[in-house]
Amino acid sequence: MSEIEEIVHIVPLGHEFDRVVRPFDKLKANRVYLLTILKEVDIPYVTEEMAKKQRYFVKLVKDVLEKRGIEVLLEHTNIFDMLDVLKKVSKIIRMEKEKNNIVYVNMSGAGRLTSVAATLAAMAHGAKVYYVIADRYSKTEEEEMRHGLSICEKLRIIYLVNFQIILPDETSLKLLAKLCTKEKGMKTNEIIQFLKEIGNEEFNETKYKAKQEKRDERSIKQALLTKLNKKILEKLEHSGYVTREKVGRYNTIKITEAGRYIAHISGLLDYT
């Protein structure tokens, strides 16, 4: 944890300036994360002209904020991909909250889909979400280059009320994040091994044996499978986050599309 509490803002950035910079006329910030397309990659819908304009706004916003003494960190994000936005925003919130910092999310600096993803991630992790109201929209190229797509003549900020988004427990989130990387799913014995590897002592077969001296190895494995089903898999299946397929004697657990969203919003998926 940080000794001194810091204020952090996360801003998915499209072709905007006023909606991103004007809030700091009133709000304090030690650090701002700008999430935007930075790398030269093949992303659908992004033309060279759009990419060039995006680089312009990234530089414009970054330069102004740094002149105000705010640290600016750039994070390459496909802001047209809801899962990527969920993953990046959630990961940063978790990281900053572990340092005991206050986290804000500006959900008005990019498009609608990006706004939805940023808001969901913020609410899932208890960050403060705000929306900057535009007074009008740019009509000329000159106005757009100065203000972005939106013009904020009077600074008006709406803070969204956080609705509680109930996520699965931490162990289940870690399992969903793992399943997200396993296209063919995982067998139940592989899941038990994974849970042991991440330090969940309930599924440590050696320690379980020590407590159940009178039980043979087969019955211990069955007991662990029963525990896995009751404590984790049945709940995830009931929520629609996983499915199980019976192949011979074994169950294969696969993540669903809904489970994939939860894995991305968990903040536990690594990214580069």
What would the pLDDT profile of 154-188 be if each residue is shown by its tens digit?
999 999 998 888 899 999 999 999 999 999 999 99
Distance of CA 1 to the CA centre of its chain: 21
Domains of the chain: total: 2
Residues 15-36 have pLDDT tens digits of 999 999 999 999 999 999 999 9
Dihedral sign of CA atoms 88, 94, 98, 104 in order: positive
First to last CA, the chain: 24
pLDDT for 162 equals 86
Do 23 and 103 have their domain in common? yes
Do 142 and 15 have their domain in common? yes
Nearest-10 crossing angle of helices 170-179, 188-197: 120
User: Dihedral through CA 115, CA 117, CA 123, CA 129, nearest 10?
Assistant: -20
Do 141 and 189 have their domain in common? no
Where is the domain boundary, 159, 189, 216? 159
- Give the mean pLDDT of 237-247: 92
Do 127 and 155 have their domain in common? yes
Do 70 and 93 have their domain in common? yes
Give the Å distances, CA to CA, from 254 to 113, 173, 186.
27, 14, 7
Average pLDDT of the chain to the nearest whole number: 91
What one-character DSSP code corresponds to residue 161?
A: P
> How does residue 223 score in pLDDT terms, banded at 50, 70 and 90?
confident
- Give the mean pLDDT of 89-107: 97
pTM: 0.89
Q: Do 85 and 114 contact (CB within 8 A), yes or no?
A: yes
Residue-range definition of the domain harbouring residue 207: 170-265
The more confidently predicted of residues 102 and 52 is: 102
- Residue 254, φ and ψ in degrees, nearest 5: -125, 145
Strand partners, 92: none
